[in-house]
C-alpha cells in the first residue's frame, strides 16, 4: 500500500477562528490538484462548524501562491483544474463566514483569484503581485470574475496586459487588498480584524456577507463554467504549451 501524501493544507481552530494554511513549499503553493482538493475540504469543514465565526487564510512560508501548477497543466491539461479553481473561488465567496487572507510575500496568477475572492485581505508592504498569464500565452480567465469585481477597470487593464509585478501599496490602491501594513505588523492586524469580526452574530455575519457578495456569486455561477472551458483551451494551445515548457525548463 502506498504511503499517504503529505498534507498540503492545514486546518486549526482556536476559539471562533479557523486557520487554513497552505503548505506546499516544493512548488511555492502552486494550485495542484491535491492542494485545491484539500483547500476545498478545509473550507467545507469551516463552513460546517457552528463554533467557527471567522476563517483566516494564510501560507506557511512567505509565498502565498505561485498560480497554476504548470507541471500538471502540461501533462494532464486544465479541464478539471479549471473547474476546481472556479469551485475554490465560489466556496470562499459563498462561505457563511468572513474569510480574512494574510499576505506577506509573492502572489501570482491564480493565487490572485483566491485573494480577490476573500472578504478582507491584510497585506505586508513586502507583498507583491503579478497576473503573469499574458507572458505564457494565457489569460486571467477564471480568476477574472473576482479580480475584476474588486479592481478598478483601469488598474485591471494595466496589470492584466503588462503582467508586471506590483506591490502592496498599489494592490490597495487598485482595490485588490483591504489594508497594507509594515511587515512586522501583519499578524497583529490580522488578529485584530479577526477578533473584531468574531464579535458579530453568526446570522449577522452570514447574511451581511450574502448581500455583499450577491453579484459576485451570481457571476461565478453564470460565467464560471464557460471561463473554465475557455481557460482549458488556452492551456492546451501550442503557443501556451511551448511557453510553459520553456518556463519549466528555466526553473529546474
The Cα–Cα gap between 135 and 90 comes to 26
Domain layout of the chain by residue ranges: 9-202
The Cα–Cα gap between 119 and 145 comes to 14
Residue 17: which H helix or E strand, with range? strand 17-22
pTM of the model: 0.96
The Cα–Cα gap between 173 and 180 comes to 10
Contact of 90 with 221, CB cutoff 8 Å: yes
Contact of 74 with 32, CB cutoff 8 Å: no
Model pLDDT for residues 91-113, shown as the tens digit of each residue? 999 999 999 999 999 999 999 99
Residue 14: which H helix or E strand, with range? strand 9-14
pLDDT exceeds 80 at position 88: yes
Q: Does 3.90.226.10 match the CATH number of domain 9-202? A: yes
Q: Which three cell numbers stand for residue 1?
A: 500500500
User: Which pLDDT score, from 0 to 100, does residue 47 have?
Assistant: 97
Integer distance in angstroms from the first to the last C-alpha of the chain?
A: 30
Mean pLDDT, the chain, rounded, equals 95
DSSP bridge partners of 180: 123
Q: How many residues does the chain have?
A: 252
The Cα–Cα gap between 112 and 131 comes to 8
pLDDT exceeds 80 at position 252: no
Model pLDDT for residues 208-245, shown as the tens digit of each residue? 999 999 999 999 999 999 999 999 999 999 999 999 99
pLDDT exceeds 90 at position 75: no
pLDDT band of 148, cuts 50, 70, 90: very high
pLDDT band of 3, cuts 50, 70, 90: low
Which of 2-6, 41-45, 174-178 has the weakest average pLDDT? 2-6
The Cα–Cα gap between 161 and 156 comes to 8
Amino acid at each position: 500500500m502506498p504511503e499517504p501524501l503529505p498534507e498540503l493544507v492545514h486546518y486549526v481552530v482556536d476559539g471562533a477562528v479557523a486557520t487554513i494554511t497552505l503548505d506546499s513549499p516544493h512548488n511555492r503553493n502552486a494550485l495542484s490538484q491535491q492542494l485545491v482538493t484539500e483547500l476545498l475540504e478545509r473550507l467545507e469543514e469551516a463552513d460546517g462548524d457552528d463554533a467557527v465565526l471567522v476563517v483566516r487564510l494564510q501560507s506557511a512560508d512567505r509565498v502565498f501562491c505561485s498560480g497554476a501548477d504548470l507541471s500538471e497543466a502540461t501533462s494532464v491539461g486544465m479541464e478539471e483544474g479549471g473547474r476546481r479553481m472556479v469551485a475554490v473561488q465560489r466556496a470562499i465567496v459563498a462561505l457563511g463566514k468572513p474569510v480574512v487572507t494574510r499576505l506577506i510575500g509573492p502572489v501570482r496568477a491564480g493565487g490572485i483569484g483566491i485573494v480577490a475572492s476573500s472578504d478582507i485581505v491584510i497585506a505586508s508592504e513586502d507583498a507583491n503581485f503579478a497576473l503573469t498569464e499574458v507572458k505564457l500565452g494565457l489569460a486571467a480567465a477564471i480568476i477574472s470574475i473576482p479580480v475584476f469585481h474588486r479592481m478598478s477597470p483601469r488598474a485591471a487593464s494595466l496589470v492584466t496586459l503588462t503582467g508586471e509585478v506590483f506591490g502592496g501599496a498599489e494592490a490597495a490602491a487598485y482595490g485588490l487588498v483591504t489594508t497594507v501594513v509594515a511587515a512586522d505588523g501583519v499578524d497583529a492586524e490580522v488578529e485584530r480584524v479577526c477578533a473584531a469580526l468574531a464579535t458579530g452574530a453568526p446570522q449577522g455575519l452570514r447574511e451581511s456577507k450574502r448581500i455583499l457578495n450577491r453579484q459576485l456569486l451570481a457571476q461565478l455561477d453564470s460565467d464560471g463554467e464557460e471561463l473554465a472551458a475557455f481557460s482549458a483551451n488556452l492551456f492546451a494551445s501550442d503557443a501556451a504549451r511551448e511557453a510553459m515548457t520553456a518556463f519549466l525548463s528555466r526553473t529546474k
